Structure 1
Amino acid sequence: MATPKQRNYALFLGLSIAFGLVFAVLPLTQDFSYLRPELLCLLVIFWVMNSPEQLGMTFGFLVGLLQDVVELGVWGGHAMALTIIAYICLMSYQRIRSYSVWHQSLWVFILVGVHQVVVNWVQGIAGYRTPAHYLVLPTLMTALCWPLVVFFFLRIRHLYRTQ
């Protein structure tokens, strides 16, 4: 039987991923669609770094597969990219968490950049092309959102005592 703390954690995790999926397909104009942060990648980084005992590469793969299905894209692109990101986070979470939030943003910029390159590579194999300069803006926006996500989620986790 799950404790209330475990139920709150699972509910909070599920709601955050559901929100990220909705945000990923939220219709935006062509001008603003290239400024959309990669929220699901950001959430995978956050959750794996803050719960490495419970979440890992399987979590990244499943979230990526959900994103591929919801976005009607090439199956496996986001799944492979988020699995790689989850692996990197698992191997380096202690080091990254020891930095300040703004220094962590630089790591997030690199991790999301890796995500963008892998997804663009898989989509390129399938015949879809995205210009490189359209990959940099979402990566930069995601890195700038990192401090907000950390503050918000850690505050919510503290209020609802999810861990």
Structure 2
Amino acid sequence: MLKAHHYAVPISIIISLVLQIMPLPIQADVYRPDWTLIVLAYWTMALPHRVNVGVAFLTGLALDILLGTALGIHSFALSLCVYVLAANYQRLRNYSVWQQAIIIGLISSLYHLVVFWLQHLLTDIYFQFEYLWPVVTSMVLWPWVFWLLRKARRQFRIL
């Protein structure tokens, strides 16, 4: 028998991947939040025994394929960010949602800087401030994503 609580985490990650590649107008695409990173961050802090560096690596590979980037760029960046979150999840759980939003901003900054660094090594791109706009939108969206995923976790009794 299929139970919803077994599939809620993978479904939320798949939804985040869809949101990450969904076409947006060129003016809004600069501000696209890091949906995949936010969802992985929530599940890593809530269920570190189920969502860990391995899940982040596989999700990053899927993101590399979907975005058409070199394999391993997003995998490495997501794995690094999830490792930092998993190593400190007990401390981060005790922070308020607004303090967690600041932490998510720092983690998102790390993610974007690692992705930029790897792409710079591979393709010789140059840094522009616009690369960091998703950090702000990810911070702003964190309380709502946190609330939505926590509600889903409690409703489906995900352990």
Are residues 1:129 and 2:117 paired? Answer: no
Q: Which segments of 5 or more consecutive residues in structure 1 lack a partner in the other structure?
A: none
- Distance apart, 1:158 and its partner CA: 1.2
Q: Specify which of 143, 147, 150 is matched with residue 154 of structure 1.
A: 150
- Distance apart, 1:159 and its partner CA: 1.4
Q: Secondary structure at the match of 1:126?
A: helix
- Distance apart, 1:60 and its partner CA: 0.9
Q: Which segments of 5 or more consecutive residues in structure 2 lack a partner in the other structure?
A: none
Instruction: Tell me which residue corresponds to 1:48.
Output: 44
Instruction: Tell me which residue corresponds to 2:35.
Output: 39
Which contiguous aligned blocks of 4+ residues in structure 1 show a shift greater than 6 angstroms?
none
TM-score (norm 1): 0.91
Q: Percent identity?
A: 25
Are residues 1:82 and 2:78 paired? Answer: yes
Instruction: Tell me which residue corresponds to 2:90.
Output: 94
- Distance apart, 1:161 and its partner CA: 1.6
Deviates more, 1:110-119 or 1:124-133: 124-133
What value does the CA root-mean-square deviation take over the aligned residues? Answer: 1.5
- Paired letter, 1:124: H
Matched length: 159
**d(CA) in 2 for partners of 1:113, 1:28:** 22
- Distance apart, 1:130 and its partner CA: 5.5
- Distance apart, 1:128 and its partner CA: 5.3
- Alpha carbons 1:74, 1:122 under 8 Å: kept: no
TM-score (norm 2): 0.94
Deviates more, 1:61-70 or 1:128-137: 128-137
Instruction: Tell me which residue corresponds to 1:63.
Output: 59
